[in-house]
Amino acid sequence: MNKYSFIFLLFILLSLGSVFAINSSFLLSKDASSVYLVASFNNFEPVEMERGFGELWRYSIDLEPGEYLYKYIIDGEEILDFQNSNITVFNGEVFNVRVVKEPYSFPKTGDGRVKEIYFRNERRYINPVKPGEIYLAIEFEKNDIEDVNLQSNAKLVSKEVIESGNNVIYRFHVFTEAPVLKYRFAIDDSQEIIYGYNGTENFFEFDFSKPIIPYFDTPEWAKGRVYYQIFPDRFRNGDPHNDPKGTYNWYGPHNQSSLGSSFYGGDLQGVIDSVDYLEYLGVEAIYFNPIFEALSTHKYDTKNYLKIDPSFGDEEIFLDMLDILHEYDMKVILDGVFNHTGTEFFAMQENFAKQEESRYLDWYYIKSFPIRKSTSSYEGWHGYADLPQLNNNNPKVKAYINHVIGKWMSLGIDGWRLDAVDQLPVSYWASLYENFKNIDENTFIVGEFWRDATSYFEDPAFDSVMNYIFRDAVISYARGGSANNFVKTTNAYLDKYPPQVLHSLWNLLGSHDTERILTALDENVDKMKLAAVLHITFIGSPLIYYGDEIGMTGTTDPFCRVPFYWDEDMWNMNIFDLYQALIQLRKDSLAIRQGDYNVLYSKGNVLIYERSYKSEKVIVALNSKNASVNVNYKLDGEYVDYFSKEKVNVIESIPANGFYILFSE
């Protein structure tokens, strides 16, 4: 066996030693005549190690859990253990540190011992909303303790017990008028164990005048609202006079080329002309894909951030639209594309024209000269030469972006959706978020992020994100997936995100970047109805992609960007009528709009959950199976079916791909 094999064996044995932690072996692979171990467990008296096969030296001893200092004497020379990077200095000498842990034992409720306590200065555990309001959480391994209560000088609003993987979290929502919150945790595990500051029984203190974690709340108006996404060129053509040359026929025929690059004439006047439709549907806010001047149909290649694209109108028509939408109590969210520009943007144009003499070279990531329209000359967003990547670390770029957001916010917009936020560090967005809030604390900031967004809420950087996790969960369930998988997927973010965020999350089923939801569900209308029920009744804020509510179909970009069908003969009225009814229900029900969410039953394809607010309860029951399922779920009282108006106290069965929405009497 060669030297490297012995080193590998040494690593394995050391790992096993730390797992069992009673018999500890010191192992060394070295070609030597003599090896001694000098260690603190023996008052640093050298003990001779036993030579095994080949070059392996061993010394074994039973040790109590703790930390031990050691080093080797090899042929008379003191040498550290090169495989152990844990070192310290003691009495002027350098030693390795061996940590001996207790053998792993499974947590046991009622043994009067707490295996592990998780409580740190992170928003997961200390989550201040505003002065006087805070969430406090403490975490343990499952089955380790019986209960936890909070002892404090605050009023307890709610207590939640949340299972998170192999752990359980106890979260307390409290209010206080005291300038300093004093608190500690009382752990019940056959006896009371007090956990306070530094592990003592002393109270923790949270000074509301000097929060150790920033305050974080989302605008009240944004919570539970119904949002609608409009891709401007494809929504409605209200003014043919501003149509670009060669505008394509609205109803096609459509193909990859026409949908990808042709203009269809949609504009802001078209939105104004559609306000009655939007009101009838129940829309309460509109998110617009980019409306600033650009060459493309999608407008993500910005030419001028300070000007409305001429094919959509001008600033005057924008202000008219803004006023009209606000009259209908519809908020306006603009798309902020701040990590790249188009090649027609003034700074990039000067780079092309003046080359090394340009004042804007450091606004981008220039690679070589002469600068040509090529990613060999500069960094392009995702490798696209049409989308040169901005240097957002440049103070002048930051100042320009602040100028842009200041202009449009001064005109009265209500928020921003920020594009492709994963392209820049969280710290950048957190700084920009602070700028937004300094202009207007009620502005609503949403990040485009497709995965777990927990890190963006720590400082924070956004009020919400586009919740693609929800979309994935709905599609999987509606296609016949299990209720437990839906619950597991959604709980993964519901349990991790700050509670004050949950009602503002943009729950979407489709967008300009995905296939349409009806297409994703194989154009099965019953499956689509299941998705719609989840979309509108789940905790969060539904974001409807234009046309999904009338049953439009289409695969991914660009086929998901077909112009809206204004010919009502092309609408699927079953889908539209359901959406309209569900949205009205949401607007009428505080339980659905801003209430708590609790899973009552999840077995096989059947999912039953409750939305509750004060005394109001709404129960939603769904079955994603292509066959009726017997449930026999007894309710806690008498409920009324929202659609049939029948009284119900037991859910006996749910039809194939069916659902019930039940109100408490």
Angle, vertex CA 418, rays to CA 250 and CA 454, nearest 5: 130
What is the C-alpha separation between 258 and 248, in angstroms, rounded? 7
What is the C-alpha separation between 421 and 571, in angstroms, rounded? 35
What is the C-alpha separation between 326 and 285, in angstroms, rounded? 9
Give residue 504's identity as a one-letter amino acid code.
Answer: S
Q: Which helix (H) or strand (E) holds 486?
A: helix 483-494
| Catalytic residue selected from 267, 419, 459, 610 | 419
SS3 per residue for 56-112: EEEEEEECCCEEEEEEEEECCEEECCCCCCCEEEECCEEEEEEEECCCCCCCCCCCC
Using CB atoms within 10 Å of the CB of residue 44, give its burial: 0 to 12 exposed, 13 to 18 middle, 19+ buried: middle
Using the structure block, give the residue that is written with the tokens 């692979």: 29
Tokens in use for 61? 């001893």
Is 448 one of the annotated active-site residues of the chain? yes
Tokens in use for 376? 């060999």
**Within its chain, how far is the Cα of 491 from the centroid?**
12
Inter-residue long-range contacts of 109-114, CB under 8 Å, 24+ positions, other chains counted:
109/143, 109/144, 109/145, 109/146, 109/189, 110/146, 110/189, 110/190, 111/189, 111/190, 112/189, 112/190, 112/191, 112/193, 113/189, 114/140, 114/144, 114/145, 114/187, 114/189, 114/193, 114/195
| Catalytic residue selected from 189, 448, 463, 515 | 448
Q: Hey, how many other C-beta atoms are within 10 angstroms of the C-beta on 77? A: 8
The SS3 assignment for 190 reads: coil
Contacts of 86 (CB under 8 A, 6+ apart): 96, 97, 98, 99
Is 523 one of the annotated active-site residues of the chain? no
What is the C-alpha separation between 322 and 304, in angstroms, rounded? 20
Closest CA to 551 of 535, 530, 534, 574: 574
Tokens in use for 506? 């943009």
What is the C-alpha separation between 366 and 360, in angstroms, rounded? 10
What is the C-alpha separation between 539 and 536, in angstroms, rounded? 8
What is the C-alpha separation between 418 and 431, in angstroms, rounded? 13
What is the C-alpha separation between 132 and 129, in angstroms, rounded? 8
Closest CA to 234 of 222, 215, 248, 224: 248
What is the C-alpha separation between 212 and 458, in angstroms, rounded? 12
Contact 172, 135 (CB under 8 A): yes
Radius of gyration over alpha carbons of the chain, in Å?
A: 31
What are the catalytic residues? 419, 448
